[in-house]
A and B are shown apart, each in its own frame.
Chain A
Amino acid sequence: MRCAIRRAIGRGLIPRLILGLAAWLCLQSARAAAPLLDPPPPAAPRLNAEEIAQIVRIDEISIPTPGELLAAVDKTGKLDWAARFRAPIATGFRSRAQMALNLGGLVADGYIAVQAQDAQQVKNIGRDIVALARPLGVHQDLINRGKSVTDFASESQWEPLREELEATQNEAKIALAENKDSKLIELVTIGGWLRGAEALATHVSLQYAPQTAALLRQPGIAHFLNEHLDALPEKLREDAVIRAIRPKLARVEQIVSFGAGQIPTQQDAAELSRLLVDALAEIGRRDVK
């Protein structure tokens, strides 16, 4: 070892190495102290094919929450949100896929109850969310959220309730990821989206207005969610509830993928409503075949 160091010193390698390191460190500090870079080039008027090919889609930012849809619907006029409540769903499922789908649906129910400003309905839904989350192993994470939901509902604090519902959905997804159940995360999203879309489609089918009907256009979301259903592991794909809803969701994607300038008819909305009501009924059944 000593001989090697002596040889290296003899050849002048170590001083050269130290000099090299010093030069490299100087370069780094010069970079750190460099003035601001030029601004990036101005935006191109169109994306090129290479850019379009690298667009990513992620659940956390690409798929809107039910709250965003309901906020848009609210701007189209006064809507009787209480008329969009549905009967309480069962919570004792054996299929984890079904639990995840229903959990998402319940969060969307919560948003609808908040829109209707019905405190008791919000509390009931909060209780169901906690009950449904228990067998998924995310119970502990949601207990505090459930309590907050109840407290805010008691005080009619609607805006914090919206935030709490979004946080509840995210907590559930984080807990699923931590429990190595990440494949169920998108099922929570699917359940929430189906329930939000059903409330909108049913409303449009009953009280048709072109401006509200235009909100049914959601091709990116439906495509993203169908892709995730297709990519599920075989065991999950073979789950009775997944098999039952896949063809319905494929048809739903066709209906909500109308052209940018088009408006769906009342009949389109009615068909969509029927499909979504059926899909939610399958998701809520304990004996899906």
Chain B
Amino acid sequence: MKTALLLAGLLALFANPRPLHAQDNRKTEARRLALELAGAFSNDGFRLRDGHWCETVAAGRPRLVEVNLHAGNLYWFSLASADPSIPVTLTVYDETGRLMEGERLAEPGRAAAAFAPKTSGPYYLKVDTSSPELTTFCLLYSYR
């Protein structure tokens, strides 16, 4: 019985290569990479909002968050995956769920979207990936 438990314990150890305590580290890394990306916009006079959204995403299970934007401001949304090899995308939708066009940047593990709302109100940001495994990401934004 003890042997069986020992073997089960060993298996559990190997079967969970990403233990729970590592989740915070991945969020920190994703945030660091997102901040690095947003840094480029700060040089262009954009103020970084001191807030972020760190979550996990997998193919077929996109994540969406509401942001409330003011007409007249220009926004850059910066997204980074904790794993730079995982492709991630970021898209902006209006409150009726219609896709909004704007400048987009994409590089491995990171994406950014610029948006200048003509109307103040709620908008939705969609984070997606093609990775079948859960990927930790972090999203933040700057405005000018």
Show the binding face of A for B, using Cβ within 8 Å: 1, 4-5, 8, 17, 21, 24-25, 28, 36-41, 43-48, 51-52, 54-65, 67-69, 71-72, 75-76, 159, 162-163, 166-167, 170, 211, 214-221, 224, 260-261
Query: Binding site of A, secondary structure by majority: helix, strand, loop or mixed?
Result: helix
Q: Contact at B73–A46, with CB atoms within 8 Å?
A: no
Chain A residue at minimum C-beta to C-beta distance from B125? A61
Q: Contact at B87–A218, with CB atoms within 8 Å?
A: no
A17: contacting residue among B7, B99, B122, B141, CB under 8 A = B7
| New A-B pairs, 11, CB < 8 Å, besides A24-B15, A45-B99, A56-B64 | A38-B130, A40-B130, A46-B97, A51-B126, A60-B53, A62-B66, A64-B67, A69-B70, A72-B120, A162-B47, A220-B66
Chain A residue at minimum C-beta to C-beta distance from B7? A17
Known pairs A51-B64, A61-B139, A260-B121; A46 contacts B98 (CB<8 A): yes
**14 A-B residue pairs with CB within 8 Å:** A1-B3, A5-B3, A38-B130, A47-B64, A47-B97, A56-B65, A57-B66, A58-B53, A72-B72, A217-B120, A219-B122, A220-B122, A221-B68, A261-B119
Q: Contact at A52–B97, with CB atoms within 8 Å?
A: yes
Q: Contact at B128–A40, with CB atoms within 8 Å?
A: yes
Query: Which residues of the other chain, A, contact B51 by a CB distance below 8 angstroms?
Result: 59-61, 170
Q: Contact at A47–B93, with CB atoms within 8 Å?
A: yes
In the complex, chain B residues 129-144 whose Cβ is within 8 Å of any chain A Cβ: 129-131, 139-141, 143-144
